[in-house]
Amino acid sequence: MFWFVKMNNKSHQKNGFTLVEMLIAMAVTLLMMGALAQAFGYLGNSIRDSKANLELSNRTRALSSLMRSDLDKATISVLGPKDDDRDHKGYLVYYEGPLSDSSGIVLGSQPSAVEPKYLPESRFGDLDDYLAFTAYAGEGWFTGVVPRYIVEERRDELDDASGDTNPNDYVPSSDPLALQPVVITSKYAEIIYFLSPDYNNTASGEFLYDAAGNPIISDGLLDSSGAALAGAAGDNFPDKMRLHRRVLLIRPDLNLQSATASPGQPIGGLAKYNYTAAPYSTSDPYVFMEPDNWYSDSTTRKPAILNTSQQSRAWQIGMAPVHQQSDLSVRRVLNADGLPGNGSVAANSIDDLEFPHNRFAHVRIAGEQLTSASIPGIRFTSMPILAVGSQLPLLSKAIVDGTSSSAYLPSVASTGASTAIPSMNGFLRPEFILGQDLSHTPVPSTFWGAGRRGDDVIETNMLAFDVKIFDPNAPNIFWFGPDGAPGASGIDDDGNGMDDDWSEVGASNTDDSVIAPDDPLFFDLIRDATNSTRVASRGSFVDLGYALLPGGSSRGIGALRKVASASASGIVPGVNRSLVETPASGFSVSNSPLYDIPTDLYESGRALAIGTSLTSRNLRIYQPTFDTFTHAYEKDGFYQGDGKAATMRDDGTVASIDFATSNNLYVVGTLWFQQHSNLRNYTDLAVNGVDDNIVISPGSTPYTANVGVDDITERETRAPFTSTFPSLEIQVRMLDKSSERIGQATILKN
């Protein structure tokens, strides 16, 4: 017999999860948490990127709006050399440094194996351009600051006309607030834009200089001497670039006029102030508003330029302290003989600024710095040029005609050897940047010293400040692409029964394109003789002097040559030299006395070849610059020329002088000579009402060309580029460091 008993299963009922179930639940939870974290991360990154994009867009928009507003206020309405009958005042100048937008590609690092399609330096554009112009504020006012004593000294003069019985009420040394900054306004101003790199400093804040006296650009980690630390080499680009904007007020009414009211002060110039507080003294003061002001004690208070005499740099950076001490547009007061060195400065009028030598950071190189040749009793200088100095280290990678020379124009046309001109090519000297005048003994601890640092900076982390001008004849050339054929190679793209004919150029879905002068491929196209028939169109925004820029696309990738059409390294250029002989190219075969540089550039003084013999003439100055310039040099009473001059006497005979070659001074270009009685009859011949078109060549007899009375050939100077251009383009590019995003904007001036 079997008994069946009903079991009670309650005691075996599960009270929790099994280990497997727990593991599954945990895995699902982790997956959900991971997904949630990923979602939040994505959302966070999206918000961050959106914020970065918005901030970068705002920065780019604000900068472009500011520059557009400034350009709209420019007093110059025509982008061409000024004629006497034009009524616009002031000036516009654009200097093109040796770099271009293609420099990072042409000379930068090669692609890595990891990223074969990425050129690391391609994000960098043109960094060393300079733009300055006069502007009218319209309904508003330009504002700036000056030391209080400048205003008070002038006020002291003006109140004498209103019944003041004491002509010398104000004594700056008795005013404890003499150096206090006060705000002034003006309807007219100079506006200046330029980039500056970081420079290497000593522990005490002074710049580190190379053997040529140029500040060393910060690129990678360096030791105290400026040498690269092991494993810390840079990329040949500055570690950081800043965009500067100076606004210098035009206030000639602040110049002193009365010796009675302002005893001991420069009449016709701005008041000075002797700062005598320690460590200065009454016997060794720091003089405000005085150029070339260094400490007299070169041992305990030495300037930062240690490798050369401080006075030998006065021509280049002597005005730098003055530009730190006010927001006024100022100039050196010249000696009666036309040479710099009066020791005083004056506030500019807008008419004064038509002369390049009166503008911000424009200097004249002493003749002793240019050549060993000298003329007894007559000193000379260069014509005014921009005070630029250190170049981008990238240019040291360039070679000329297969040599290892730096990327400068050649000194000997037959070999293509180069002449380094490091002192006057590159970035604006940092001594002219607010708060960065570290080459002179430091300014007293007042508002006018390091306290102004950053006041002129409007943007940081810049990647480009690229100014271009529209050249109506610049060639845009067809490129058939990698397949080397119009349209698609071997295919009848247009259905006319013929493969690869001209009518197929640019067919859709092919590799054809049009290459402009600023494209890195430009060199490879113009060196090919067959491309003389491939010009697609004419007209493009170009870098001024694009055919000869050391870092430009017309030099080829890697191995830079004298000109794009130079025969070198087995390259035969064919017939394409004429392709780049355009108004803005800075290149001429038909109108060049030397090195394929146009005559206009030489006669302006922005290019200068000089030596002690015909065969030793080296290119010492090369600054391709658009400048509205002035005709006033033709009636300033000073002789500007090459040292050879002639004039027509009343009886029809020729009077001539050649004090240059007779003293072993051989010049291509224009120098500024000290006023001298021997030069009186040969000065300002273009305004004397006589046909003085006399040509003098070394070793030849003067002869008359008989072109006309006071024609252009009789002028001592002329604008560096004599064409009129339709428009100017400015491209700015900046980096957002947090997101590594790049913003860019383009501004046009028509």
First-to-last alpha carbon distance for the chain, in angstroms, is 118
What does the pLDDT read at residue 182? Answer: 96
Compute the radius of gyration of the chain from its Cα atoms: 32
pLDDT digits (tens, 9 = 90+) for 633-658: 988 889 998 887 666 666 666 666 77
Helix or strand (DSSP H, E) at 26: helix 19-72
> How much of the chain, in percent, has pLDDT values that exceed 70?
74
With contact defined as beta carbons under 8 Å apart, do 666 and 660 qualify?
A: yes
Tokens of 266: 């420069």
Sheet holding 457-459, edge to edge: 457-459, 241-249, 188-197, 130-136, 92-95, 625-627
d(CA 530, CA 528): 5
d(CA 319, CA 668): 28
314 belongs to a structural domain: yes
What does the pLDDT read at residue 270? Answer: 94
Region 191-210 average pLDDT = 81
Give the best-scoring range by mean pLDDT among 156-170, 384-398, 570-584. Answer: 384-398
b vs e for 503-526, b when ≥16 Cβ sit within 10 Å of the residue's Cβ? ebbebeebebebbbbbbbbbbbbb
Region 159-184 average pLDDT = 81
b vs e for 76-95, b when ≥16 Cβ sit within 10 Å of the residue's Cβ? beebbbbeeeeeebbbbbbb
Evaluate if residue 38 carries a pLDDT over 80. yes
For residue 243, list its beta bridge partners.
Answer: 195, 459
> How much of the chain, in percent, has pLDDT values that exceed 90?
30
For residue 484, is it left (φ>0), alpha (ψ between -120 and 50) or beta?
Answer: left
148 belongs to a structural domain: yes
Tokens of 243: 């965009």
d(CA 172, CA 147): 11
Give the best-scoring range by mean pLDDT among 90-99, 362-371, 555-564. Answer: 90-99
With contact defined as beta carbons under 8 Å apart, do 648 and 690 qualify?
A: yes
335 belongs to a structural domain: yes
Secondary structure class of 4 (helix, strand, coil): coil
Largest CA distance in the chain: 164
pTM, entire model: 0.87
What does the pLDDT read at residue 648? Answer: 60
- The dihedral sign for the CA sequence 30, 36, 42, 45: negative
Residue at token pair 């005014």: 384
d(CA 670, CA 601): 10
Q: 274-283, 433-442, 571-580: which range is least confident on average?
A: 571-580
What does the pLDDT read at residue 170? Answer: 83
Alpha carbon of residue 535 to chain centroid: 31
d(CA 610, CA 594): 11
Q: 146-155, 201-210, 596-605: which range is least confident on average?
A: 201-210
- Residue 366 makes CB contacts below 8 A (sequence gap 6+) with 315, 381
Whole-number average pLDDT of the chain: 78
Instruction: Return the DSSP state at 199.
Output: B
pLDDT digits (tens, 9 = 90+) for 361-386: 999 988 888 888 888 888 899 999 99
d(CA 27, CA 33): 10
Q: Show the CA angle centred on residue 146, arms to residues 194 and 250, nearest 5°.
A: 60
Q: How far is CA 58 from CA 193, 241, 454, in A?
A: 20, 19, 20
- Give residue 82's pLDDT band: very low, low, confident or very high (50, 70, 90): confident
637 belongs to a structural domain: no
What does the pLDDT read at residue 9? Answer: 56
686 belongs to a structural domain: no
590 belongs to a structural domain: no
The 3-state secondary structure of 276-291, one letter per residue? CCCCCCCCCCEEECCC
For residue 515, list its beta bridge partners.
Answer: 477
With contact defined as beta carbons under 8 Å apart, do 582 and 471 qualify?
A: yes
DSSP-derived pairing of the beta strands 644-648 and 654-658:
antiparallel
Alpha carbon of residue 255 to chain centroid: 30
Evaluate if residue 416 carries a pLDDT over 80. no
With contact defined as beta carbons under 8 Å apart, do 423 and 211 qualify?
A: no
d(CA 630, CA 641): 16
Tokens of 236: 């040949």
With contact defined as beta carbons under 8 Å apart, do 563 and 587 qualify?
A: yes
What does the pLDDT read at residue 102? Answer: 87
- Residue 355 makes CB contacts below 8 A (sequence gap 6+) with 384, 630, 632, 633
701 belongs to a structural domain: no
Region 329-341 average pLDDT = 90
Number of domains, the chain: 1
288 belongs to a structural domain: yes
Torsion of CA 55, 56, 60, 61, to 10 degrees: -40
Range of the domain at 310: 143-183+251-347
What does the pLDDT read at residue 609? Answer: 87
What does the pLDDT read at residue 363? Answer: 93
Evaluate if residue 190 carries a pLDDT over 80. yes
Length of the chain equals 750
- Give residue 86's pLDDT band: very low, low, confident or very high (50, 70, 90): low
Helix, strand and coil in the chain, % to nearest 5:
25, 25, 55
Spell out the long-range contacts of 533-537 with Cβ–Cβ below 8 A and sequence spacing 24 or more. 534/477, 534/478, 535/475, 535/476, 535/477, 535/478, 535/579, 536/476, 536/477, 536/478, 537/476
d(CA 52, CA 42): 15
- Give residue 265's pLDDT band: very low, low, confident or very high (50, 70, 90): confident
